[in-house]
Structure 1
Amino acid sequence: MAGQLILGLSILVGLHEWGHMFAAKMFGMRVEKYFIGFPPKIWSIQKGETEYGIGAIPLGGFVKISGMIDESMDTDAMNKDPQPWEFRSKPAWQRLIVMLGGIIVNVIVGVIIFIVIAYNEGEKILSKEEVNKYGIIAGDLAQQIGLRTGDKIIKVNGKSFSDFNEVISSDVFLGSNSSYTVDRAGEEIDIDIPNNFIEKLSDPEEKGNFIRPAMPFKIGELSPGAPAQKAGLKVGDKIVSINSAPIRFYTELQAQLPPLKGQVAKIGIDRAGQQQIIDVKVSDEGTIGIGAENLLVFTTINYTLGQAMQEGTKNAFAVVFNNIKGFGKIFRGEVSASKALSGPIGIARMFGGVWDWARFWHLTGLLSMVLAFMNALPIPALDGGHAVILSYEIISGRKPSDTFLENAQKVGMVLLLGLMAFAIFNDVWKAVF
């Protein structure tokens, strides 16, 4: 889990800082240091004017460009006359490109990752017709807003949909005044979604407790030595009853087993059209050791390279737009920052405890776009803060004083350190409580 996060961030931070370094060297600026990770130093090598190295703290990195006021706060050098190779001696437009170099690289990397994912994996769609064969399973959160198990969703925000992902998309939960229209026993009912509903969905304890399609199933796998295998159940069997109670969906099986812990259950199965009853002893954990194979029909859309470029770019920038919408909800007071923001611990949990390359690259692409967005925020000490100041200089023709830049950097560092401390404390709080 932590290893995946460190690898992903190391790749992204390394490329981000390379973007700054490449732009700086392109304009003849001297780059003194290029480090992945923060001090203390683990390893470094000197090549030409630049020291390349790795720091012990992996959640970040930096480049040290001569003549630039940055997080190193090397103000002594700023008291000397500007030299031709220094950042401060270059035209404002060149300095602006240097400051935007990391953001640009992160955007390019994020877009490329999403394009490759779209090209290699395509898109799996569960159609409206397939979802509404059996309707939805409504969890506790869904029931709180008025949804019921068996409802058939026919509209999202007043419009029809073609893929179940549209029903649970960020547009629904990050938007305002969203709603579902459902068919409940032949009657159309509108269900309003509260504007702060995303806060409840972001609670780790409520994960997966909203809606999902009712899933008919058959046994897809058997755990070796588990009760199901010992009793003679086979891959491909359809479980149709437990102790004479009918079973149609996997959620019904999951609900029926826990009360039977340690007992022998009479499980009715359909095996190639033949009905039979098999006695299975339920484990003390309330399971029988099977994996379910979903019998709903998914449609896979395969993209050409051109289509993947369009789809991947759209998916990459959707990450940025969702972050903007999310911050909007925080500022409007619809969502609390403690529920919406995650630090390194929360992000590491997203990667999961098992290495999955598909998930790794998807999350790395997502993080690349998030890093680009966060660095673009107009906060002193971030690239976006520097860009705002340089844009002012370009437009006004007046360069802010070094004293102003130093003070702005200090304020920005305090804000960033405070935000980082809040995010880490928030992660620990959510994990413990």
Structure 2
Amino acid sequence: MEFIIKIGQFLLSLSLLIVLHELGHFIPAKLFKTRVEKFYLFFDVKYSLFKKKIGETVYGIGWLPLGGYVKIAGMIDESMDKEQMALPPQPWEFRSKPAWQRLIIMLGGVFVNFVLALVIYILGSFAYGDTDIAASSIKGGFLIENPLLTDLGFKTGDQIIKVDDVDIINRSDISKNIIGANSVTYKREGVTNTIDLPVDFLGQLSSSKDRSLFGMRKPFIVNKVLDTSLNKNVDIKTGDIMYALNGQPAEFYDQIEPILEANKGQTISAIFRRGNMTVGRELIVDDKGKLDIITSASAKELQSLGYYDIVRKEYGFIESFGVGATKFKSQIVSYFGQLKAIFNPSTGAYKGVGGFKAIYDVFPSTWSWPDFWGLTAFLSIMLGVLNLLPIPALDGGHVMFLLYEMISGRKPSEKFLEKAQLVGFFILIALVLFANGNDIFKAIFN
């Protein structure tokens, strides 16, 4: 079921982005009376799942979900239709249109990507508001499990207060600012210290088996005792909160698990908090180091118990425009920062580049419309920015040659454009293979 939910979100988001991106090319092409021969969701290599011709355009769905395309008459694109290009130019063809019209057609897809992301951020702010956790309210500090972080000197219980010079107000501020950061400032037992991050921090993080950063510590709050548990006859009630084992602090799982591991097959003393009182119990640890006690608590319950404060902000319709625009700008800046890190070999960030598996993995295993729309907005920005890269075969490559034509007054020859398209195509194939190869490498070795 988890796979169905994740793949459903992945395909829905991908399809929405592809169709709207291609509509960004399709609509101005039609407005400028340019013939569009095909409009496809996914690629139809040798075969189409569906196709229907309406007017002069064939609309279809291909079987290969690696993108989509519109085939515009008289344009040198991925179709490499040399027969058409060998014929005299026709007034309805792309190559016959003024350069400014061709530029608008080529920028249409990216424009739609950015507008879509902006609209999602605005409407999402109005419909869902923002929910976060106040960083300073997190009881017991952050959970540090990643060996990379422990090797740098972080310890579970640290309170993260700054990333570079940015104050950490809410938990999400850490992930927003960690990419490209040089240092992290934390407080431990009342003392403030700063740890410098290595230049290749992102590369090391991408290569590590545990890619978590600063997690949340999980308290031991009893839900029920399993019928198969050796502790089924012990007086333990739903809502009991453990805070000591064998005289050692044991409120969080990271404290509890090593104690249980060291006491396999033995009876240990436990102290629980039950409302305003404390109760002591003797518990039996099985041979696997387990108590067979189910624990759980909702976010609201954890907040009421003082484990953290949930920060909830709601926005009016007019206010949401400013909030959405700020989120859009922040995400654009963040993504350009990621690209800068990726293209700088010293950061090792290229090791974290992923393909379709990586995109699939970012979707949650339970359906959440706020998460879905937030991820779709981010992916729309990502698609828009990547398409602007000046690589032949991408929109940015076409725009580069069009700007050259408009500035110099000379149009590149069709032979040159054909060769550039082939070079760009091979570059794209190499990038796709690299990204998806990274996914495969991580799946095998991590």
Q: Compute the TM-score of the two structures, normalised by the length of structure 1.
A: 0.89
Aligned position for 2:23? 18
Query: Which whole-Å deviations, capped at 9, do the CAs of 1:348-379 have from their partners, x for residues lacking one?
Result: 12224444433322222211111111111110
Deviation at 1:391, TM superposition (A): 1.1
Residues in 2 aligned to 1:171 and 1:118: alpha-carbon distance in whole angstroms: 21
User: 2:37 touches 2:72 (CA, 8 Å); kept in 1?
Assistant: yes
Residues in 1 aligned to 2:411 and 2:216: alpha-carbon distance in whole angstroms: 59
User: 1:228 touches 1:290 (CA, 8 Å); kept in 2?
Assistant: no
Deviation at 1:201, TM superposition (A): 3.0
User: 1:222 touches 1:228 (CA, 8 Å); kept in 2?
Assistant: no
Aligned position for 2:204? 200
Structure 1: gaps of 5 or more residues: none
Q: Find out whether 1:173 has 2:179 as its counterpart.
A: yes
Query: Which whole-Å deviations, capped at 9, do the CAs of 1:100-137 have from their partners, x for residues lacking one?
Result: 11111111112222223322332234335424x64444
Aligned position for 1:191? 195
Using a 3 Å threshold, how does the CA distance of structure 1 residues 185 and 369 change in structure 2: closer, same or farther? same
Aligned position for 1:50? 57
Residues in 2 aligned to 1:116 and 1:225: alpha-carbon distance in whole angstroms: 48
Q: Which of 321, 333, 339 is matched with 2:351 structurally?
A: 339
Residues in 2 aligned to 1:426 and 1:126: alpha-carbon distance in whole angstroms: 33
| Partner AA of 2:144 in structure 1 | A
Residues in 2 aligned to 1:362 and 1:226: alpha-carbon distance in whole angstroms: 42
Q: Which of 276, 281, 294 is matched with 2:279 structurally?
A: 276
Aligned position for 2:3? none
Aligned position for 1:410? 422
SS class of match (2:178): helix
Q: Which of 247, 262, 268 is matched with 2:250 structurally?
A: 247
Aligned position for 1:307? 319
| Partner AA of 2:75 in structure 1 | M
Aligned position for 2:152? 145
Residues in 2 aligned to 1:212 and 1:89: alpha-carbon distance in whole angstroms: 57
SS class of match (2:199): coil
Aligned position for 2:186? 182
Q: Which of 90, 99, 102 is matched with 2:106 structurally?
A: 99
SS class of match (2:346): coil
Count of residue pairs brought into register by the alignment: 427
Using a 3 Å threshold, how does the CA distance of structure 1 residues 200 and 314 change in structure 2: closer, same or farther? farther
Deviation at 1:78, TM superposition (A): 0.9
Deviation at 1:55, TM superposition (A): 0.5
Residues in 2 aligned to 1:418 and 1:91: alpha-carbon distance in whole angstroms: 33
Using a 3 Å threshold, how does the CA distance of structure 1 residues 280 and 207 change in structure 2: closer, same or farther? farther
Using a 3 Å threshold, how does the CA distance of structure 1 residues 82 and 327 change in structure 2: closer, same or farther? same
Deviation at 1:299, TM superposition (A): 1.9
Deviation at 1:195, TM superposition (A): 2.6
Using a 3 Å threshold, how does the CA distance of structure 1 residues 60 and 361 change in structure 2: closer, same or farther? same
Q: Which of 114, 117, 124 is matched with 1:117 structurally?
A: 124
| Partner AA of 1:35 in structure 2 | Y
Using a 3 Å threshold, how does the CA distance of structure 1 residues 25 and 158 change in structure 2: closer, same or farther? closer
Deviation at 1:263, TM superposition (A): 5.8
Query: Which whole-Å deviations, capped at 9, do the CAs of 1:43-64 have from their partners, x for residues lacking one?
Result: 1111111111110112211111
Residues in 2 aligned to 1:4 and 1:204: alpha-carbon distance in whole angstroms: 27
Counterparts in 2 of 1:24-423, with a 5 A limit?
Answer: 24-39=29-44, 40-131=47-138, 134-139=140-145, 140-158=147-165, 160-166=167-173, 168-175=174-181, 178-203=182-207, 205-208=209-212, 210-212=213-215, 217=219, 219=221, 221-222=223-224, 227=229, 230=232, 233-259=236-262, 266-278=269-281, 284=288, 286=290, 288-293=293-298, 294=302, 295-336=307-348, 338-423=350-435
Deviates most, 253-262 or 20-29: 253-262
Residues in 1 aligned to 2:348 and 2:390: alpha-carbon distance in whole angstroms: 22
Residues in 1 aligned to 2:371 and 2:263: alpha-carbon distance in whole angstroms: 35
Aligned position for 1:429? 441
| Partner AA of 1:61 in structure 2 | G
Using a 3 Å threshold, how does the CA distance of structure 1 residues 227 and 310 change in structure 2: closer, same or farther? farther
Using a 3 Å threshold, how does the CA distance of structure 1 residues 48 and 319 change in structure 2: closer, same or farther? same
| Partner AA of 2:408 in structure 1 | S
| Partner AA of 1:276 in structure 2 | V
Deviation at 1:285, TM superposition (A): 7.4
SS class of match (1:82): coil
User: 1:227 touches 1:282 (CA, 8 Å); kept in 2?
Assistant: no
> RMSD of aligned C-alpha atoms?
2.7
SS class of match (2:390): coil
Deviates most, 199-208 or 72-81: 199-208
SS class of match (1:62): strand
Q: Which of 9, 14, 19 is matched with 1:4 structurally?
A: 9
Query: Which whole-Å deviations, capped at 9, do the CAs of 1:216-268 have from their partners, x for residues lacking one?
Result: x4637558767499556444322122344332334323444455566665442
Q: Compute the TM-score of the two structures, normalised by the length of structure 2.
A: 0.86
Residues in 2 aligned to 1:253 and 1:144: alpha-carbon distance in whole angstroms: 22
Residues in 1 aligned to 2:230 and 2:53: alpha-carbon distance in whole angstroms: 62
User: 1:226 touches 1:288 (CA, 8 Å); kept in 2?
Assistant: no
| Partner AA of 2:183 in structure 1 | S
